[in-house]
């Protein structure tokens, strides 16, 4: 198929590379001209294992290209919308990018199409957005022929950073929301060959899926960390408690998010928890546990910083191994490690950071803004592997598996990504 992807961030760019590997012809659109130029030169604009190799292979086959705009969607089979929906000041999602891209798509759909253009939204937004925002924009531009010119679907993604390529080809589930809950031939073709349960439903059930998933992941992380703090204070082995807890796969579901360790962060969980809090407050649902998640997450970051500070001399030399939310990525958005680093600097400690995936010059968009707003001196903190291993350090903080493989001799190491 001929596919156009709007928004070449983590989700959109990964999807572009993976779809090109499947043989689809992919045209990516992004407002960032530098990012577009990098993609066309074969350089991935994000740090994500496997995507750059897929990009180069797709370019060699002539199956992928990028631009900052598009004039017509006459020959396109599928348009996928992956633009950001960042948190607004009140916790709701900022929908300006969704509205603008929808207007651009509507303007580029020719009246003479023989069959409707399928427009699939993968951005996370509240239930009712398709019917309350997206459809009215299309109807305003295309009039009574809207149903003949576009087929609107909502198709949430379930990609985890650092394993996004694996998740793309082996998703936990496939969810497609349509106007009546019926099937879409184009979406069936898109998902051919993927071994996963498929759910066709109405827009609203599909739209809320990511909120439910991400808030549940946040619940599990926050719960595990509260238990971890109790165990830590009482001298109980949180690692052994976790081992016992996750052995019960019948009732306790999954070990992945229930291991006591670092705070949750990244581009999805905090943003979507805030948005669900906003929705709940607006409709009077009184979700007190959900309302507590961000507070307990902040409490956990403070607890870990206090634990670190107790182990440091005045103006201690500290190495942090891993600054990004996850190892092998450069995503600093709401990374708890950024907060820990900032607080250590505020206390006057000499902090160095080893994270080979982070190059400040490569940061883009919201990632760039978050990094330099919350840790403006990030470029001066980064050190290479030789410096990291040479030390000496009063304390080494292992914030993710970036620590693994470092030769640190007898340096004292404190892992913040797990309690043993």
Domains contained in the chain, number: 2
Backbone angles phi, psi at 30, to 5 degrees: -150, 145
Q: Which of 196, 229, 250 is the last residue of a domain?
A: 196
Tell me if 161 is assigned to some domain. yes
Q: Tens digit of pLDDT for each residue in 22-81?
A: 999 999 999 999 999 999 999 999 999 999 999 999 999 999 999 999 878 999 999 999
Asked if 298 contacts 379 with a C-beta cutoff of 8 angstroms, the reply is no
Q: Among 131-140, 228-237, 252-261, 392-401, whose mean pLDDT is lowest?
A: 252-261
Tell me if 112 is assigned to some domain. yes
Question: Does the pLDDT at position 205 exceed 70?
Answer: yes
Asked if 272 contacts 214 with a C-beta cutoff of 8 angstroms, the reply is yes
Query: Mean pLDDT across the chain, nearest whole number?
Result: 92
Residue 1 pLDDT: 96
| Annotated catalytic residue, options 17, 18, 82, 268 | 268
Tell me if 111 is assigned to some domain. yes
Its pTM stands at: 0.84
The Cα–Cα gap between 164 and 158 comes to 8
Residues 232 and 288 in one domain: yes
The Cα–Cα gap between 39 and 376 comes to 27
Q: Which of 149, 164, 196 is the last residue of a domain?
A: 196
Residues 92 and 137 in one domain: yes
Residues 132 and 56 in one domain: yes
Residues 252 and 290 in one domain: yes
Residues 136 and 227 in one domain: no
* Residue numbers of the domain that contains 288: 210-265+281-306
The Cα–Cα gap between 133 and 130 comes to 6
Question: Does the pLDDT at position 255 exceed 70?
Answer: no
Question: Does the pLDDT at position 253 exceed 70?
Answer: no
Residues 29 and 108 in one domain: yes
Q: What are the structure tokens assigned to 150, written together?
A: 């576009």
Share of the chain above pLDDT 70, in %: 99
Residues 188 and 285 in one domain: no
Query: What's 304-340 look like in SS3?
Result: HHHHHHHCCCCCCEEEEECCCCCCCCCCCCCCHHHHH
Residues 238 and 114 in one domain: no
Q: Which of 306, 339, 359 is the last residue of a domain?
A: 306
Q: Active site includes 268? A: yes
Q: Tens digit of pLDDT for each residue in 339-366?
A: 999 999 999 999 999 999 998 888 888 8
Tell me if 38 is assigned to some domain. yes
Residues 240 and 151 in one domain: no
Residue 257 pLDDT: 67
**Residue 93 sits in a domain of what CATH number?**
3.40.50.720
Question: Does the pLDDT at position 258 exceed 70?
Answer: no
The Cα–Cα gap between 239 and 247 comes to 12
Residues 71 and 131 in one domain: yes
Residues 92 and 227 in one domain: no
Residues 229 and 131 in one domain: no
Q: Tens digit of pLDDT for each residue in 80-99?
A: 999 999 888 898 999 999 99
Question: Does the pLDDT at position 122 exceed 70?
Answer: yes
Give the CA dihedral 201, 251, 416, 370, nearest 10 degrees.
10
């Amino acid at each position: 198929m001929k596919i156009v992807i709007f928004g070449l961030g983590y989700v959109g760019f990964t999807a572009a590379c993976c779809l090109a590997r499947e043989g689809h012809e992919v045209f990516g659109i992004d407002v960032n001209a530098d990012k577009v130029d990098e993609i066309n030169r074969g350089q991935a604009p994000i740090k994500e294992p496997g995507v750059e190799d897929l990009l180069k292979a797709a370019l060699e086959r002539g199956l992928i290209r990028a631009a900052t705009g598009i004039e017509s969607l006459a020959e396109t089979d599928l348009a996928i919308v992956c633009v950001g929906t960042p948190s607004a000041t009140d916790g709701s999602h900022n929908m300006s990018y969704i509205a603008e891209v929808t207007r651009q798509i509507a303007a580029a759909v020719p009246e003479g199409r023989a069959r409707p253009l399928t427009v699939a939204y993968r951005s996370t937004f509240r239930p009712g957005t398709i019917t309350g925002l997206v459809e009215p924009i299309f109807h305003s531009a295309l009039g009574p022929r809207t149903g003949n010119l576009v087929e609107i679907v909502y198709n949430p993604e379930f990609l985890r950073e650092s394993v996004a390529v694996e998740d793309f080809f082996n998703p936990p589930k496939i969810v497609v929301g349509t106007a009546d809950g019926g099937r879409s031939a184009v979406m069936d073709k898109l998902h051919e060959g993927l071994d996963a349960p498929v759910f066709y439903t109405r827009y609203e059930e599909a739209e809320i899926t990511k909120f439910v998933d991400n808030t549940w992941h946040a619940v599990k992380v926050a719960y595990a960390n509260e238990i971890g703090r109790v165990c830590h204070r009482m001298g109980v082995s949180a690692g052994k408690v976790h081992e016992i807890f996750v052995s019960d796969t019948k009732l306790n579901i999954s070990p992945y998010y229930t291991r006591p360790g670092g705070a949750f962060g990244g581009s999805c969980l905090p943003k979507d928890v805030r948005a669900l809090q906003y929705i709940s407050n607006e409709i009077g649902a009184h979700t007190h546990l959900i309302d507590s998640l961000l507070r307990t997450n902040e409490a956990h970051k403070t607890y870990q910083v206090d634990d670190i500070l107790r182990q440091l001399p005045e103006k201690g030399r500290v190495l942090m191994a891993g600054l990004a939310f996850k190892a092998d990525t450069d995503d600093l958005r709401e990374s708890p490690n950024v907060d820990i680093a900032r607080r250590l600097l505020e206390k006057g400690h000499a902090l160095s950071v080893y994270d080979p995936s982070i190059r400040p010059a490569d940061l883009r968009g919201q990632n760039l803004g978050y990094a330099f707003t919350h840790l403006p001196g990030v470029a001066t903190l980064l050190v290479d592997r030789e410096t990291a291993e040479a030390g000496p350090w009063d304390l080494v903080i292992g914030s993710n598996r970036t620590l693994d493989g470092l030769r640190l001799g007898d340096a004292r190491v404190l892992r913040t990504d797990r309690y043993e």
